[in-house]
A and B are shown apart, each in its own frame.
Chain A
Amino acid sequence: MILQVAMIQILLSKCGVVTKMVWGKAGSTTLSSAGDTMTVSDMSANNSYVYLFHAPANASYNTIINFDNDSGTKYAERKSANGGADSTAVSQTDFNTGDGTDSDGFHFGYIVDVSGEETLIIDWWNRANTAGAGNAPYRGENVGKFTETTQFTRIDFDNSSGGSGFATDSNLTALGSDITPAAAIPALGANVQVGSRYEETDTRKMYNLQGADTASLAVVDFSSGYTLPAKFSATGSNGYTFTENASSIDQVMYKDLTTDVVGTKYVMRFPFTLTSFTGHTTGANNHKQEIGLGASYGTGEDPTHDFVGLRYTANQSTSKIDFQILARDGSTKNYSAAYSLAYSSVSTPTTWYIEIIRNENDYTLNVYSDSAYSTSLGTATVTQTGITGLRYFNHNLYTQSTNGVSNGSSAGYDIYNNITSVNTSNTWQEIGT
């Protein structure tokens, strides 16, 4: 596709024709961690823009818009929330959309930005309100203006409340009415041998090309060396299945990976698939699984060996499944939910992609919906000291109540030792000046 675009451009430019692409992407940004600022910059001037802004809430936030990072008193606005009477504000330092609440939000709008004229904005928003269909969303309709008459090249959506209100994966996109398409130019690393040195003439810096990370241990064959009790079964050379379908299960599948398998920094990744699910509903009982690395391979509701991994539970009190990071130092356990899903929303089969990161005493669980580990469903981090001796792969099954089913499979796991993030492509690492 990129080549096609480039060829089309060349041909058209030879003919003296410039092709405009209607409502093409003028810029876009997506948060990789929670924040309060979203910026699209370096835009070429357009007379008209559409913007799209979707920000799941990490905390309560109120969205304000500004252009070219200009916080002078150059803004005026008119707004209505939930169909109520309009209110106005003049001589403002930003365009305050007035959408403040603690729930996910979505804006779209139109901007006209004619050189020599004030910039005009029409904005709509929808804030989700408390989760669930029992709570109607809030809506807003606004207009605003920015009195600077030079065409802007940057737009910011910020949270005026602070506190990292915009969650990971929040996105701001601007579409322009008159976009000239251009082919992407890949980073140099895609075409250069790993280990090459780059001498940057304008910054006087030097870089070394690091290859994409490869797993220090990649396991798909569980047919030898793994202890598999009755509720586990190796599936040839392609992972294993687990059966959590009865009361009073207390089993662990394990293997000694030896002391060299991980240090105090590592990343562990594996798919977790549910092929059959019924939420358990018996009060004061637990259904849970723990998958990760332990200093031993004990059983019981809460084994007492050091352990770091995924804690998957079916929670009868909330009627949700929870994906939690569990970091356990002996009998001291520390856990936090990265992602939860209502029983009623669990469809089978569904695969979640689990990433566990140890960075010294910080332990993070990332849950993704895709095998590229790029679409995040949620994240959580806990801090726990004293965890040592991780060498055994563990998958514990533990049930008390008589109802509930969480049968599934895993296609294996990858461990990347001595790193805390996985690079999937070659990258230049600065080595000096």
Chain B
Amino acid sequence: MALTYQAGRRVQGTAADRAAVDGVSGGWKEVGRTTLGSTTTTINVASIPDKRYYMVLVDANMAGSTNSAFQLNGDTGSNYTNRKSYEGGADATDTSFTVGRIQGHGGPVPDFNVMYMSNLAAKEKLIINHGVNQNTAGAGTAPRRAEIATKWANTSAAINRFTAVDYLNSGSGYATGAEVVVLGYDPDDTHTDNFWEQLADVTLSSTGDNLSSGTITAKKYLWIQTYISDTGGQDSVNMTFNNDTGNNYAFRRNNNGGTDATTTSTSHITLNSSEVTEDLFSNVFIINNSSNEKLVIGHTIQNQTLGAGTAPIRKEFVGKWSNTSSQITEIDFDNDSSGSYDTNSFIKVWGSN
């Protein structure tokens, strides 16, 4: 019913007419970025506005034997503590430490991290980071990976600066083009200019053995989600880029928290090999610099048997595509096992420069 205005300052309408209706807006928005124009010891992103959460993309292309780490608000005190696992190994901790960890592998190679942060001024800041390090160039060497939980023990200020640093001062810092992008989200945001834009949204219209993004606009940062439903047989899920099926891939994979296994000089990155009997969901980030190897961070959940009587399977993987001349403009998932991908399988790709 429409509102009606009567004499004597009387208004008539429904409960819905009286109440406010929240807008639909907000999401990950770029709130800070620094790109190096020359080799520099730090990557400093200043004047970050106060947001409840941050998503930080660290394209840490390192020069020399830099051990990449980070500090917040320029705090160089012993106010950080980390819990970290490299290559799926046992957790180790740093306490009263002067930096938050990123990867920490010294070496003049690209390194990519995706971090999520909570940010409440009066509370310690909590950070979860997943990273991939290229390791020795070429598909003959598998990349390294890191999983890190960090706490910055500051309880008096919101985050206003992120600085990537070489915590051992052992290298010459970060190479030209290295970059930190800080995305912010706050429940009170009302903007609609989000960082990520959709590049592909493809749902299979008929069963098949290939799920492809088709040609996408090249972007520096890629975020991919794939849902694969099986027709009843067994599916494999092999990821390739730009239809390159040469032995130009290497990856490191962990199943259910076990020991990492590596595969090198192979024709694809294997999310699952002949294992998917019901459905699989994967989340993947890629740093997509043309002149560097493309680095991949991925996680999957695999539903082997329907129903609550069977726990799902989890996998964590990092991978690389050794191509150093092109950006990824197509992503494919292929099945070479007995089953087929069912019709509600989809791939969504988001990206941004």
1/0 contact string of B64-87 vs chain A (CB within 8 Å): 000000000000011111110100
B156 at the interface (CB under 8 A from A): yes
**CB-based contact B308/A75 at 8 Å:** yes
A173 / chain B contacts, CB cutoff of 8 Å: 52-53, 185, 187
Q: How far is A342 from B197 in the complex, measured between Cα atoms in Å?
A: 43
1/0 contact string of B292-324 vs chain A (CB within 8 Å): 000000011101001111111110100000000
**CB-based contact B13/A200 at 8 Å:** yes
B257 at the interface (CB under 8 A from A): yes
1/0 contact string of B112-137 vs chain A (CB within 8 Å): 00001010111110111000000000
Q: Of all chain B residues, which has the CB nearest A52?
A: B53
B307 / chain A contacts, CB cutoff of 8 Å: 76, 147
**CB-based contact A143/B312 at 8 Å:** yes
The segment from B23-31, B35-43, B166-174, B239-247 found at the interface with A is B23-31
The segment from A130-138, A229-237, A299-307, A416-424 found at the interface with B is A130-138
**CB-based contact A117/B283 at 8 Å:** no
1/0 contact string of B192-203 vs chain A (CB within 8 Å): 101011100000
Q: How far is A369 from B150 in the complex, measured between Cα atoms in Å?
A: 25
Q: Which residues of A122-159 have CB atoms within 8 Å of chain B's CB atoms?
A: 122, 124-129, 131-139, 141-145, 147
B95 at the interface (CB under 8 A from A): yes
A78 / chain B contacts, CB cutoff of 8 Å: 256, 311-314
B256 / chain A contacts, CB cutoff of 8 Å: 78, 86
Q: Which residues of A376-407 have CB atoms within 8 Å of chain B's CB atoms?
A: 376-378
**CB-based contact B151/A126 at 8 Å:** yes
Q: How far is A188 from B187 in the complex, measured between Cα atoms in Å?
A: 22
Q: How far is A193 from B7 in the complex, measured between Cα atoms in Å?
A: 13
Q: Contacting A129 at CB < 8 Å: which of B10, B23, B52, B151? A: B151
Given contacts A112-B225, A137-B150, contact A201 B118 (CB under 8 A): no
B12 at the interface (CB under 8 A from A): yes
The interface on chain B, measured as residues whose beta carbon lies within 8 A of the other chain's beta carbons, has a size of 96
**CB-based contact B20/A136 at 8 Å:** no
**CB-based contact B190/A1 at 8 Å:** yes
Given contacts A105-B126, A137-B81, contact A118 B306 (CB under 8 A): yes
The segment from B208-216, B264-272, B330-338, B343-351 found at the interface with A is B343-351
**CB-based contact B90/A83 at 8 Å:** yes
A25 / chain B contacts, CB cutoff of 8 Å: 24-27, 185, 187, 189
Q: How far is A2 from B83 in the complex, measured between Cα atoms in Å?
A: 43
Q: Contacting A110 at CB < 8 Å: which of B14, B155, B225, B311? A: B225
B23 / chain A contacts, CB cutoff of 8 Å: 2, 5, 181-185
Q: Of all chain B residues, which has the CB nearest A105?
A: B126
Q: How far is A181 from B15 in the complex, measured between Cα atoms in Å?
A: 23
**CB-based contact B312/A76 at 8 Å:** yes
A365 / chain B contacts, CB cutoff of 8 Å: none
Interface centre among A24, A144, A187, A201 (most CB of B within 10 A): A24
Q: Of all chain B residues, which has the CB nearest A428?
A: B18
Q: How far is A382 from B185 in the complex, measured between Cα atoms in Å?
A: 36
Given contacts A106-B126, A201-B1, contact A88 B121 (CB under 8 A): no
**CB-based contact A184/B198 at 8 Å:** no
1/0 contact string of A174-195 vs chain B (CB within 8 Å): 0101011111111111001101
Q: Of all chain A residues, which has the CB nearest B98?
A: A133
Q: How far is A273 from B21 in the complex, measured between Cα atoms in Å?
A: 37
**CB-based contact B11/A199 at 8 Å:** yes
A134 / chain B contacts, CB cutoff of 8 Å: 81, 95-96
A32 at the interface (CB under 8 A from B): no
Given contacts A52-B185, A105-B126, A147-B306, contact A133 B312 (CB under 8 A): no
A169 at the interface (CB under 8 A from B): yes
Q: How far is A121 from B27 in the complex, measured between Cα atoms in Å?
A: 20
**CB-based contact A378/B122 at 8 Å:** yes
A255 / chain B contacts, CB cutoff of 8 Å: none
B306 / chain A contacts, CB cutoff of 8 Å: 118, 147
A199 / chain B contacts, CB cutoff of 8 Å: 10-13
The number of residue pairs between A and B whose CB atoms lie closer than 8 Å in the complex comes to 311
1/0 contact string of A1-38 vs chain B (CB within 8 Å): 11001001000000000001111110010100000000
**CB-based contact A126/B24 at 8 Å:** no
B21 / chain A contacts, CB cutoff of 8 Å: 184-185
B162 / chain A contacts, CB cutoff of 8 Å: none
Q: How far is A385 from B93 in the complex, measured between Cα atoms in Å?
A: 50
B147 at the interface (CB under 8 A from A): yes
A264 at the interface (CB under 8 A from B): no
Q: How far is A199 from B10 in the complex, measured between Cα atoms in Å?
A: 7
Q: Contacting B257 at CB < 8 Å: which of A20, A86, A116, A171? A: A86
Q: Which residues of A70-106 have CB atoms within 8 Å of chain B's CB atoms?
A: 73-78, 80, 82-86, 88-92, 104-106
A114 at the interface (CB under 8 A from B): yes
Q: How far is A89 from B257 in the complex, measured between Cα atoms in Å?
A: 16
**CB-based contact B344/A117 at 8 Å:** yes
**CB-based contact B11/A120 at 8 Å:** no
**CB-based contact A22/B350 at 8 Å:** yes
Q: Contacting B27 at CB < 8 Å: which of A47, A89, A120, A175? A: A175
A259 at the interface (CB under 8 A from B): no
**CB-based contact A339/B122 at 8 Å:** yes
B227 at the interface (CB under 8 A from A): yes
**CB-based contact A76/B310 at 8 Å:** yes
Q: How far is A112 from B316 in the complex, measured between Cα atoms in Å?
A: 17
CB distance from B182 to the nearest CB of A (A): 15
Given contacts A139-B83, A341-B156, contact A126 B128 (CB under 8 A): yes
Q: Provide 22 A-B residue pairs closer than 8 Å at the C-beta atoms, listed in order of the A residue.
A: A22-B197, A22-B198, A25-B25, A52-B185, A56-B123, A78-B256, A78-B314, A82-B91, A105-B126, A106-B118, A122-B281, A132-B153, A145-B308, A173-B53, A181-B24, A184-B21, A185-B23, A187-B20, A192-B11, A199-B12, A205-B15, A345-B154
* 8 closest cross-chain pairs (CB), A and B: A184-B23, A139-B149, A88-B311, A136-B93, A187-B20, A83-B91, A106-B126, A185-B21
Which residue numbers of B lie inside 8 Å of A, CB to CB?
1, 3, 8-15, 17-28, 52-53, 77-83, 85, 89-91, 93-97, 116, 118, 120-124, 126-128, 147, 149-157, 185, 187, 189-192, 194, 196-198, 225, 227, 229, 256-257, 279, 281, 283, 299-301, 303, 306-314, 316, 344, 346, 348, 350
8 more A-B contacts (CB under 8 A) besides A91-B309, A137-B126?
A108-B128, A120-B312, A122-B314, A129-B151, A141-B316, A184-B21, A198-B18, A369-B121
